[in-house]
Amino acid sequence: MFKNKKDIKLGFYGPPNAGKTSLANRICKDFTGEEIGSVSKIPHETRHVQFKEKVEIEYKGKKMTFKMIDTPGISTKIDYEDFLKYKVKKKEAKERAKEATQGVIESIKWLEDMDIVVVVLDATENPYNQVNITIIGNLVARKIPVLIVANKSDLKKSDIKRVESAFPEYDTLGLSAKYGDNLEEFYESIFKLSKKV
Ligand SMILES: Nc1nc2c(ncn2[C@@H]2O[C@H](COP(=O)(O)OP(=O)(O)OP(=O)(O)O)[C@@H](O)[C@H]2O)c(=O)[nH]1
Ligand SMILES: [Mg+2]
């Protein structure tokens, strides 16, 4: 009944390394001056759900307040040996794998709490895989409004169309979290989705 009076819970979900934290950081930095968490080229950098409350986003003279929720990357296979190639020591790699597995569980646990979810995908990778289909299917089943972001549009290998055609029934937006390309369109989509909450 009073749902509209509360801050909108905006979740960032997706596979590891897609740029969830980078995107959440850019938004938080723009409107609060602070970041939400650390970014790394090593997958599973985020291993706990992290928040930023009262992020007031202003777009075309309108203001909306969000609770931003950045989540650990979801994957079906977490192997400590994958971290060794990033020069992570064996003991640390094993710890990272253990925490990453817990992180996946945490992400899924928090799903039901979200008002809106941005699914962040790396547009240089084939979007049509089990993890992405499972995340999006789960959101749809819970009737949570979804925006699919095809991130890393600055990279030559990125293919926004491939993401659009993998999930034609959902809103898809290409952008670069790293360079801030297409952020205005992102805010427009988020404001539009917020009306469905
Ligand atoms: N070229 C390019 N690189 C990006 C972009 N966004 C993120 N990255 C890089 O991708 C890597 C992963 O970024 P993160 O923001 O940590 O990704 P994440 O989805 O939070 O990853 P996890 O926390 O592991 O789930 C880092 O090296 C980022 O600098 C982008 O728009 N363009
Ligand atoms: Mg992260």
Question: Each residue of 21-41: pLDDT tens digit?
Answer: 999 999 999 999 999 999 999
Atom of ligand 1 nearest to the CA of 25: 15
Interval 104-109 mean pLDDT? 97
User: What pTM was computed for the model?
Assistant: 0.96
Span from the CA of 192 to the centroid of ligand 1 (angstroms)? 25
| C-beta atoms surrounding 196 within 10 Å | 10
- Banded pLDDT at 84 (limits 50, 70, 90): very high
Ligand 1 contact, 16 CB (< 6 A): yes
- Banded pLDDT at 1 (limits 50, 70, 90): very low
Q: Phi/psi of residue 162, each to 5°?
A: -65, -35
Span from the CA of 143 to the centroid of ligand 2 (angstroms)? 24
Residue with the two structure tokens 């297409």: 182
Residues 171, 157: Cα–Cα separation, whole Å:
21
Ligand nearest to the CA of 157: 1
Q: Where are the extended beta strands (E) located within 84-136?
A: 116-122
Interval 103-111 mean pLDDT? 97
- Does residue 64 carry a pLDDT above 60? yes
Q: Phi/psi of residue 12, each to 5°?
A: -110, 115
Ligand 1 contact, 71 CB (< 6 A): no
- Banded pLDDT at 49 (limits 50, 70, 90): very high
Regarding beta strands 171-174 and 62-70, do their DSSP bridges make them parallel or antiparallel, or are they unpaired? Answer: unpaired
Q: Phi/psi of residue 73, each to 5°?
A: -60, 140
Specify the residue with its C-alpha closest to ligand 1, atom 2.
152
Q: What integer pLDDT is reported at residue 5 of this predicted model?
A: 59
